[in-house]
């Protein structure tokens, strides 16, 4: 059950960090990127709150880990596209891909553990007279 809770907590911390960094980088910026950056920060922080809500009942709310992994994969893909366009350095891309891979694996492992818990509980309920 510990790794299932970590599957919610670690991506939530990452979301809060990404949201706060996006807000920090907006200080003093007055160009056309201000609104999309603000929206990105808002979504990241809200997704982190959603994951923290899932901590209360992780087995019942494990479904949120699948779209979380998808969002993380999309962020990694955006960095790959940025690298191909020449706006992201190779070192930063490598770091982001390692972090994204670890978070995706953690989400997958948490979802799998929750599925096993549900299957075991269903088997126990089915065996009762």
Mean pLDDT of the chain: 89
pTM value? 0.82
User: Given this model, what pLDDT does residue 22 score?
Assistant: 86
User: Given this model, what pLDDT does residue 129 score?
Assistant: 61
**pLDDT digits 0-9 by tens, 25-60:** 778 777 777 788 888 889 999 999 999 999 888 889
Among 96, 94, 42, smallest CA distance to 73 is for 96
Q: Which residues of the chain have pLDDT under 70?
A: 1, 128-129
Distance of CA 8 to the CA centre of its chain: 8
Structure tokens at 25: 């980088």
In the chain, where the domains are located? 2-127
Q: Which residues contact 110 (CB under 8 A, 6 or more apart)?
A: 3, 4, 6, 7, 8, 58, 62, 65
Among 61, 74, 124, smallest CA distance to 103 is for 74
**Contact in structure between 104 and 72 (CB atoms under 8 Å):** yes
User: Given this model, what pLDDT does residue 110 score?
Assistant: 92
């Amino acid at each position: 059950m510990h790794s299932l809770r970590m599957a919610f907590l670690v991506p939530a911390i990452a979301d809060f960090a990404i949201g706060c960094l996006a807000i920090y980088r907006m200080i003093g910026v007055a160009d056309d990127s201000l609104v999309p950056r603000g929206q990105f920060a808002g979504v990241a922080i809200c997704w982190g709150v959603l994951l923290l809500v899932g901590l209360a009942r992780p087995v019942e709310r494990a479904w949120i880990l699948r779209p979380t992994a998808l969002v993380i994969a999309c962020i990694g893909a955006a960095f790959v596209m940025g690298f191909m366009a020449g706006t992201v350095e190779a070192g930063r891309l490598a770091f982001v891909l390692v972090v994204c891979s670890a978070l995706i694996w953690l989400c997958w492992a948490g979802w799998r553990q929750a599925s096993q818990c549900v299957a075991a509980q269903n088997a126990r309920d089915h065996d009762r007279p």
